[in-house]
Structure 1
Amino acid sequence: MSGRVRSQMKSLLRRHIWQWLTDTADQLGGCSLQVKLIVAYIGVILIPVVVFSLYTFHQLYENTMHDITVQNQYVLDTELAQIHSNMEIMERTAQLAISDRNVLHYLTEEREISSDELVQFNLNVFPNLQHLLYSNPNIENIRLYTNNPQAHEIWPMIFNESRLPKTSWLTTAQHQQGRIWWDIYKGPKSLLQGQAGQENEAVQYMALLREIQASGGRHAGLVETNMRLELFSPRVFGTPPRDYAWQMFILNAEDSIPNGGKLVSSTDIATASIQPDPIPIPLSHVHHLLQSRVQGQGGAFDFTYGNKPYLGLYRYIEGLDAYLLNIVALDGPLSDLRHKRNAMLLIICILILLMSVISYTLHALILKQLHTLRESMKRVQKEGDFQLTIPVYGRGEVAELALYFRSLLSRINVLIAEAVQKQAAAQEAELQGLKHQIDSHFLYNTLENLKMMAEMERQYPLSDALTSLGSMMRYNLQWSRPCVALRDEIRHIQHYVAIMNIRHDNQIGLDIRLSSMFMELEMLKMSLQPIVENAIKHGWSTLRRPFLITIEAYSKQDIVELRIQDNGVGISEERKNAIMAGLMHSDMDSYEPGMHGGIGLYNVHRRLSMQYGVGYGIKLDSIPGQSTTVTLILPRRHITRGEDYDDQAVDCG
């Protein structure tokens, strides 16, 4: 199994576990305490045991894979060492064969060789070639091919180039320019038998080939040393032992397989041939593994084919420009490991189930008193019987809870009696208060009569002042809801300034710079009067010039900033910071106006924060000697529904 596949399976498993836990938690919400205790017990015991078991078997899996890898790497390295040894023997033999001057002279001599020379060559030189062959029993043939018509063939070592098993060797020799190359081919044991057409004697050879060059670099022939494939690489081309679940291949690094794409193994399945029912891996898949998974001089990788796990190990064969690939079947050892793991998990689950049944029975006995207490509580809730007797006694936690519940019922009875008495007393006090209440309409009618008398006496300033005072009284006494429109607050401020101008000889000016879109803005009632009152009291009382109060509004997305600015004496930076610190004070009872600032500003800020939330309230700015600006930060809400400019209109009342 590849690492990528294992990672995907683990990720999928984690998602399924999380979904299962979420669904289980939802279902447990409606279960009894007894069931929840059992589930918690199972979770505390089962989950660690299962996690530990999975971790243990994972370590066993890693150790098993490591042992299999090490064992098969040793087999692979042993085979690679034998291949290198055979290649070295073949190279040395070929080099010795053509390094003999007498042999090279015989192959390149352009004159006709006399019979005496031929006899001397056959008696003195040719035995040396035979000795090379016989001293290396794994080498099947040493063949020298010559294009010299004067050289006679001496079987079975010296032949004319016309007897080459593959004519393509001549073309390859021109490109190699004296360098050796390797080739796998199928040919007869004897070139003479091959000519006779004995196809049944054909065998596969690993051949080392090298061009024989005369003086001046002229082509003089080829030298071939070959070895049977089953001797060159026994584990690749021979029959593997029955107790090994592997199959080796020699695959070319560039063309996937040497010899023009032909299979180099003696079998044409790439699988562990030892399995009772082997699943063959197509040769094309072996090619794909070589091209996609093999990198560098050597390594290992795992893969699956036909739902069966396999391990691939490879080593680079220098000289052949090929890879020695060993594919090992893992189904056997990993299957045993999986069976052991599943058996262990099954045993754990059975034990947990048995202990859960026992725990359920014990919990039922322990929680019996708790069920009795629960039924008593239900009876109190349904019937309202606070004189109920709860038959639960003892020293345990449930008995202690029952004692507290009995005390609670007794306390509730006392509180009910006290509440009835307080309600009766409150009703009596309310009745007495109604008897002494002053009718507000009497005040309005009195002010209206005074206004008419002033007009009859042509005292119009006094009449206007009485009108403003009546409007202010009516506005202050009518609190049907905490929020009003900005238009109402502005009208109230206009009346307030009009009354104050009577005292200050019309020295106070009020400049309202509000567009119609802000006139229906929602705000808390009596939010502006404390600010305007502070401005007149603290900002103008010591001045000798006319006083101007300007009211403006600006919209920023969902926030409206309502600014009340005056041209008074202003306040210092230290004083401003102290006032802002006081506005942030959270305890009204411990708030000291003399230390921080006016209690009116604090009340307005606190009401805005409580009504609209954190971020809303008062912000104070001032330029000493020039002006003071108080900014109300309000949400952009309309006091009534249906206006176009605010799609979130809210009725505060």
Structure 2
Amino acid sequence: MLLKQRKNWESIKGLKLNRKLTAIILVFVMVPIAILSGVMFYNMEQSTIKENVSYLDSTMARRQDSIHNNIDSINMITQFFLSDETMNRVLISAKNQDSFTTKEWIEIYKNDVAALERLINTNPVLGGARYYAANDNVQEMMPVMYTASRMQRQPWKGYALDGGWVYDYKDNLFSSSDNAPMMALITPINNKKYGFLGAIEAGMKMKTMFPSLYENVPSEISCFVTEDGNVIFGKRSDEKVKRIALNLAAKMEANAKKIENQDIETYYSKEDKSVISGMYIKELSGTLVSVEDISGSLNEVYRQRNAFVMWMILILILLSFVVDGLVRQVLKNFYAVLYTIRQVRKGDLSVRALETGRDDEMGELAHQVNRMLDNIQSLMQQNIDREILAKDSQIKALQNQINAHFIYNVLESIKMMAEMQEEYDISDAITSLGKLLRYSMKWTSELVLVSEELEYIKNYMALINLRFDYDIILSLNLPMSIMNQRVPKMSLQPIIENAIIHGVEEIAEDTTIYIKGVIVGDDCLIEITDNGRGMNDEELDRLKKKISGEIATGGGSGNGIGLKNVQDRLHVAFGMDYGIDVATKEGCYTKVSVKIPMRRVENITNKY
């Protein structure tokens, strides 16, 4: 297999350049088109599915409202029949083999029977409501009172004692009754004293309760699944729909026992290419299921997709001939440029490609090859110049080192002259300046001891005090263990300088800067506190944002760039968990805390 793939790859590599370019162009053109068309037709398919799912779901919601209204009508008429005391006395009389007078029968018919009949007629969705006596000892009063013999003709007669919903039966009360399928709520009438008195039939046409079963929608079939698993179809039946309905009804009935308010469930079945919607009706203990076959809509999408693919194939074939011809024309001057490149490979950098103009790609290629050769020669000359410059830099570095020694020697001579003139303050200042310059010029990329940094700060303070008419005292309180820790070079001095410029100078009086060291777990804090003017909350917040980099720092004084640089160097040296923090109180003090990791050192009992 690998050998075959290798041979195929070698055969591709051996193709002429014009064919390779043609293939690459066609791939780059057709692949995006194929991807976009695939996405487009996939979205069309999903949109078709979503539209049908949404439509069927909203349709089922409307059907749910209608069914609940119909059920309420049946329950309401049943309650009216149960609560009619006169009709209940008629049923008790029939049970006891008693009878009413003709006048009493007329009064019952004029009042109670007529009222019940009006109630039935005012609700057009009802198919009727009837009393059935427990025996034949009753005067039949159409359309509400019938004998037990009439009840025995009905297919639901077995429900008379227990009651319940019956579906899809033919009304056999009279031979001329309507043959339309009916459904009804059968309610037994029981009396504690006399027992079973009869039954009430509150009926409705199946078409009224479930119109979707009888609608002539070509792509949709609906059915009703009863509690005992009987599947009732309307005009059309289908075994696939029956299988789907039974599975969905079992699932929704199980869910209804767990969820108090069972909603409508609508989804798309890829296997059946159908949108399926189920509605569990708790009052009926059954499930209405509608299955809409959307294969026609999907097939139309697939047909458009296939037609698009066929057109793309034809366009691809035509495009391959057009592109191949164009590539051949473009490559006419290619080999002239290729000859120049081969000469350069042999070492002849003076050769140049013949430029016939920059009107096409090959002319541009020739021009760029010539520019490349010019650049190569220029870069070679730059490399030579860079080597010369590097040697010059080494010489200048040596001269700088000599200049630093010269400065130290001059400062030492000035110090001796001051001592000779008994100007000891000047001598001490020169000494501090020399130490400060020596520390500054002796640059190292490694960390320095805290004690070395503090020594540098002492020299800095000695020179600073020469500027002012007041004294700035430096108070140190650090354990030897912290003195032996390491920090980035010149990381504490900018904090001292910041304290003097922004805190001490404005009050212009004798003051003290405190440097205190505290060990906290595996870390240590170096706290630098001045008794200067402090800052308000707004200034502190702006300074912290500059230090953290949330807002930019400029190049001027007082913009936090010094503290920002210290923060960045501490992060680089020790990580993001370490750095500086600022606390202040306006008109009182400012404290900058430098947090660094604590390393194990010896001689930690003494203080600096």
Between stretches 607-616 and 339-348, larger displacement belongs to 607-616
Cα deviations across residues 238-259 of structure 1 (Å, max 9, x unaligned)? x9999998575584xxxx3xxx
The equivalences for 1:157-196 within 5 A come to: none
Q: Does 1:513 align with 2:486?
A: no
Seen in structure 2, the aligned counterparts of structure 1 residues 360 and 312 have a Cα distance that, compared at 3 Å, is same
1:37 to 18, 25, 28: 28
- Letter aligned with residue 347 of structure 1: A
How far apart are residue 489 of structure 1 and its match? 1.5
SS in structure 2 of the partner of residue 395 of structure 1: coil
Q: Does 1:522 align with 2:482?
A: no
- Letter aligned with residue 308 of structure 2: I
Equivalent residues of 1:246, 1:328 under 8 A apart: yes
Cα deviations across residues 595-623 of structure 1 (Å, max 9, x unaligned)? x57xxx98855753664579978979797
Cα deviations across residues 563-591 of structure 1 (Å, max 9, x unaligned)? 55566xx56989x98x9899998565xx5
How far apart are residue 488 of structure 1 and its match? 1.2
Seen in structure 2, the aligned counterparts of structure 1 residues 328 and 383 have a Cα distance that, compared at 3 Å, is farther
Q: Which residue of 2 aligns with 1:53?
A: 44
2:306 to 342, 346, 362: 346
Seen in structure 2, the aligned counterparts of structure 1 residues 619 and 38 have a Cα distance that, compared at 3 Å, is same
Seen in structure 2, the aligned counterparts of structure 1 residues 462 and 619 have a Cα distance that, compared at 3 Å, is same
Seen in structure 2, the aligned counterparts of structure 1 residues 467 and 209 have a Cα distance that, compared at 3 Å, is closer
The equivalences for 1:86-165 within 5 A come to: 107-108=97-98, 146=135
Count matched residues.
496
Seen in structure 2, the aligned counterparts of structure 1 residues 33 and 382 have a Cα distance that, compared at 3 Å, is farther
SS in structure 2 of the partner of residue 525 of structure 1: coil
Q: Which residue of 2 aligns with 1:27?
A: none
1:424 to 378, 383, 388: 388
How many angstroms apart in 2 are the aligned matches of 1:315 and 1:337? Answer: 28
Equivalent residues of 2:221, 2:291 under 8 A apart: yes
RMSD, aligned α-carbons? 7.7
Q: Which residue of 2 aligns with 1:395?
A: 359
Equivalent residues of 2:450, 2:487 under 8 A apart: yes
Q: Which residue of 1 aligns with 2:295?
A: 335
How many angstroms apart in 1 are the aligned matches of 2:437 and 2:307? Answer: 86
Q: Which residue of 1 aligns with 2:109?
A: none
How many angstroms apart in 2 are the aligned matches of 1:530 and 1:184? Answer: 92
Equivalent residues of 1:247, 1:271 under 8 A apart: yes
- Letter aligned with residue 305 of structure 2: L
Equivalent residues of 2:131, 2:199 under 8 A apart: yes
Seen in structure 2, the aligned counterparts of structure 1 residues 491 and 218 have a Cα distance that, compared at 3 Å, is closer
How many angstroms apart in 1 are the aligned matches of 2:54 and 2:530? Answer: 85
How many angstroms apart in 2 are the aligned matches of 1:553 and 1:66? Answer: 73
SS in structure 2 of the partner of residue 524 of structure 1: coil
Q: Does 1:608 align with 2:598?
A: no
Cα deviations across residues 79-130 of structure 1 (Å, max 9, x unaligned)? x89x98xx99xx9xxx9999999x96994269xxxxxxxxxxxxxxxxxxxx
- Letter aligned with residue 46 of structure 1: S
Equivalent residues of 2:133, 2:199 under 8 A apart: yes
How many angstroms apart in 2 are the aligned matches of 1:526 and 1:323? Answer: 82
Seen in structure 2, the aligned counterparts of structure 1 residues 376 and 166 have a Cα distance that, compared at 3 Å, is same
How far apart are residue 528 of structure 1 and its match? 1.9
Equivalent residues of 1:514, 1:552 under 8 A apart: yes
Between stretches 217-226 and 406-415, larger displacement belongs to 217-226
2:374 to 377, 398, 410: 410
The equivalences for 1:520-599 within 5 A come to: 520-525=485-490, 528=493, 531=496, 535=500, 548-553=512-517, 562-565=526-529, 588=555, 591=556, 596=557
- Letter aligned with residue 528 of structure 1: Q
SS in structure 2 of the partner of residue 510 of structure 1: strand
Equivalent residues of 1:38, 1:356 under 8 A apart: no
Equivalent residues of 2:580, 2:594 under 8 A apart: yes
- Letter aligned with residue 481 of structure 1: S
Equivalent residues of 1:271, 1:278 under 8 A apart: no
Q: Structure 2 length as normaliser, TM-score?
A: 0.50
How far apart are residue 50 of structure 1 and its match? 1.8
How far apart are residue 417 of structure 1 and its match? 2.8
Seen in structure 2, the aligned counterparts of structure 1 residues 484 and 325 have a Cα distance that, compared at 3 Å, is closer
Q: Structure 1 length as normaliser, TM-score?
A: 0.48
Equivalent residues of 1:302, 1:310 under 8 A apart: yes
How many angstroms apart in 2 are the aligned matches of 1:554 and 1:218? Answer: 97
Cα deviations across residues 182-226 of structure 1 (Å, max 9, x unaligned)? 87999xx9xxxxxxxxxxxxxx9989787699xxx9859856799
Seen in structure 2, the aligned counterparts of structure 1 residues 275 and 223 have a Cα distance that, compared at 3 Å, is closer
User: Share of identical aligned residues, percent?
Assistant: 15
- Letter aligned with residue 442 of structure 2: Q
Equivalent residues of 1:510, 1:548 under 8 A apart: yes
How far apart are residue 522 of structure 1 and its match? 1.4
Q: Which residue of 1 aligns with 2:449?
A: 485
How many angstroms apart in 2 are the aligned matches of 1:607 and 1:299? Answer: 64
Seen in structure 2, the aligned counterparts of structure 1 residues 559 and 503 have a Cα distance that, compared at 3 Å, is same
- Is the radius of gyration larger for structure 1 or structure 2? 1
Q: Which runs of 5+ in 2 are unaligned?
A: 1-22, 101-126, 138-145, 173-181, 602-608
Seen in structure 2, the aligned counterparts of structure 1 residues 602 and 362 have a Cα distance that, compared at 3 Å, is farther
SS in structure 2 of the partner of residue 53 of structure 1: helix
- Letter aligned with residue 522 of structure 1: V
How many angstroms apart in 2 are the aligned matches of 1:206 and 1:542? Answer: 100
How many angstroms apart in 2 are the aligned matches of 1:586 and 1:376? Answer: 57
SS in structure 2 of the partner of residue 550 of structure 1: strand
Q: Which residue of 1 aligns with 2:177?
A: none
Q: Which residue of 1 aligns with 2:4?
A: none
SS in structure 1 of the partner of residue 488 of structure 2: strand
Seen in structure 2, the aligned counterparts of structure 1 residues 436 and 248 have a Cα distance that, compared at 3 Å, is closer
Equivalent residues of 2:224, 2:286 under 8 A apart: yes
How far apart are residue 636 of structure 1 and its match? 2.6
Q: Which residue of 2 aligns with 1:651?
A: none
- Letter aligned with residue 29 of structure 2: I
Between stretches 321-330 and 530-539, larger displacement belongs to 530-539
The equivalences for 1:428-443 within 5 A come to: 438=402
- Letter aligned with residue 479 of structure 2: S
Seen in structure 2, the aligned counterparts of structure 1 residues 106 and 343 have a Cα distance that, compared at 3 Å, is same
- Letter aligned with residue 108 of structure 1: D
How far apart are residue 510 of structure 1 and its match? 3.5
How far apart are residue 347 of structure 1 and its match? 3.5
Seen in structure 2, the aligned counterparts of structure 1 residues 418 and 303 have a Cα distance that, compared at 3 Å, is closer
How far apart are residue 543 of structure 1 and its match? 7.5
Seen in structure 2, the aligned counterparts of structure 1 residues 366 and 99 have a Cα distance that, compared at 3 Å, is farther
Equivalent residues of 1:269, 1:281 under 8 A apart: no
